[in-house]
Amino acid sequence: MRFKKKNMENIQVSNYGVTAKGDSIQKYTLTNKNGMKVDVINFGGIITSLTAPDKNGKYEDVVLGFTKPDDYFNGNPYYFGALIGRYGNRIANAKFTLEGKTYDIEKNDVPNTLHGGKEGFHTKFWNIEPVKDAKSPTLKLTYTSADGEEGYPGKLTTTVLYTLTDDNALEISYEATTDKATVVNLTQHSYFNLSGNFSKTITDHELQIYADKFLPVNETLIPTGKEKAVQGSPFDFTTSKPIGKDINANDDQLKKGKGYDHNWVLNGSGMRSIAKVYHPESGREMEVLTDQPGVQFYSGNFLDGKFDTKSGGKNEFRTGFCLETQHFPDAPNQASFPSAELKPGEKYQTKTIYKFSVKK
Ligand code: BGC
């Protein structure tokens, strides 16, 4: 079905699959005037495909994903393309204390909680409506998380907008409100491979992150609480360099993460450019903009070749990378980190943009 109303002719909806619970899942395809396309499903708010042009103007899918709907529905072990909530990344020992009360959440990444728990937002049915009066094709996704869901306090009412603009940017706007004090840290977990060939590693991609500091972690990938200068270390991406340049350096933090799996403390504040990734062979470039204080740069170290990729071959080690904009991991337990608390009457509001272009 194609929506006929003004500004909605660029949104198509088709049947995607049926979950074990019996939910019928639709795929929404946003198309801009250049022919760039983004596919989103109402299971987990997952982006299953996103195309970007190469130096010859060829649009190819650049986000990792499964070949079968059931692989998203039955676990999605890598969180491919998903909306993450209530809390992106890890919370130490699966607990936190808020206003004097300790909340136990699920240890789905023993001994910690990862990405909201096993039944986090990436597994939920999101209501999707195309937005009628938007300037560019926009989907409005809503999900209400009950008080106590996955152990988190407060009923959290969440809205996410996905907008595809004519300058080849995917804008993601998040909003949430609560009826009890809680913590919230929403993000998007797309893995990118700008080559369009998902069986190739991403170590040849050149990355720049506008951050002078990062957060070292312990053995279970929880930040130690201290910020560390990147200068002179493998974590220095202040000038662009191939992801693979220092990834195998003899460095304790790289060993702990099995590569890069850390939060960078972004320079500046407010909406700003925070990272650029360039793939020399295809000419594709991606810029990331956000208003968040941190970004988790994850070099796909837990990809283990168990699934087929959409372009053939298997999803091997480091065949995708994520730049997850966020508040810092474990902020609910670390008083020195920017607070991730949300109180009744307040509005959680944040925005991230992934913008694609060609560099010749
Ligand atoms: C984390 C990784 C984790 C991955 C899950 C990333 O956000 O930092 O440690 O393995 O998500 O696929």
Over residues 286-340, the pLDDT tens digits come to 999 999 999 999 999 999 999 999 999 999 999 999 999 999 999 999 999 999 9
pLDDT value, residue 211: 99
- CA 42–ligand 1 middle distance (angstroms): 22
324 is catalytic: yes
Q: For ligand 1, is residue 79 a contact (CB within 6 Å)?
A: yes
Rounded to a whole number, what is the distance in angstroms from the first to the last CA of the chain?
38
pLDDT value, residue 3: 60
pTM of the model: 0.97
- CA 122–ligand 1 middle distance (angstroms): 13
The values of phi and psi at residue 257, to 5°, are: -90, 0
Residues shown for the chain? 360
pLDDT value, residue 75: 86
Q: For ligand 1, is residue 89 a contact (CB within 6 Å)?
A: yes
pLDDT value, residue 5: 53
Ligand 1 atom closest to the Cα of residue 257 is 9
Structure tokens at 96: 């936190």
Is 77 in a helix, a strand, or coil? coil
Q: For ligand 1, is residue 324 a contact (CB within 6 Å)?
A: yes
Confidence of residue 9 (pLDDT cuts 50, 70, 90): confident
Confidence of residue 360 (pLDDT cuts 50, 70, 90): confident
- CA 89–ligand 1 middle distance (angstroms): 7
pLDDT value, residue 1: 62
Over residues 41-76, the pLDDT tens digits come to 999 999 999 999 999 999 999 999 999 999 999 989
| Helix (H) or strand (E) run with residue 41 in it | strand 37-41
- CA 90–ligand 1 middle distance (angstroms): 9
Q: Whose CA is nearest to atom 7 of ligand 1?
A: 89
Cis peptide before 272 (omega within 30 of 0): no
User: Looking at the DSSP assignment, which residues form a beta bridge with residue 321?
Assistant: 192
Ligand 1 atom closest to the Cα of residue 301 is 10
- Dihedral through CA 89, CA 327, CA 145, CA 18, nearest 10? -50
Ligand 1 atom closest to the Cα of residue 302 is 10
The values of phi and psi at residue 328, to 5°, are: -70, 145
Q: For ligand 1, is residue 302 a contact (CB within 6 Å)?
A: yes
| Amino acid symbol at 171 | E
What is the distance between the alpha carbons of residues 117 and 151, in angstroms, rounded to a whole number? Answer: 9
pLDDT value, residue 133: 87
- Active-site choice (115, 122, 189, 205): 189
> Which of the listed residues 76, 90, 262, 298 should we mutate to test ligand 1's pocket, taking the one with most ligand atoms within 8 A of CB?
298
Which string of DSSP letters, residue by residue, matches 159-220? EEEEEE-TTSEEEEEEEEEESS-EE-B-EE---B-TTS-TTS-STTSEEEE--SEEE-B-TT
Provide the b/e sequence for 54-66 (b: ≥16 CB within 10 Å): beeeebbbbbbbb
Over residues 165-184, the pLDDT tens digits come to 999 999 999 999 999 999 99
Instruction: From residue 75, give the alpha-carbon distance in Å to each of 33, 66, 224.
Output: 35, 12, 30
Q: For ligand 1, is residue 29 a contact (CB within 6 Å)?
A: no
Q: For ligand 1, is residue 296 a contact (CB within 6 Å)?
A: yes
Ligand 1 atom closest to the Cα of residue 189 is 7
What is the distance between the alpha carbons of residues 161 and 169, in angstroms, rounded to a whole number? Answer: 13
Greatest distance between any 2 Cα atoms in the chain: 59
- pLDDT, mean of residues 221-243: 98
What is the distance between the alpha carbons of residues 179 and 176, in angstroms, rounded to a whole number? Answer: 11
| Amino acid symbol at 76 | N
What is the distance between the alpha carbons of residues 58 and 356, in angstroms, rounded to a whole number? Answer: 13
Over residues 98-154, the pLDDT tens digits come to 999 999 999 999 999 999 999 999 999 999 999 998 999 999 999 999 999 999 999
Is 350 in a helix, a strand, or coil? strand
pLDDT value, residue 234: 98
Over residues 199-215, the pLDDT tens digits come to 999 999 999 999 999 99
pLDDT value, residue 258: 98
287 is catalytic: no
What is the distance between the alpha carbons of residues 138 and 152, in angstroms, rounded to a whole number? Answer: 29
Contact indicator for 244, 204 with CB cutoff of 8 Å: yes
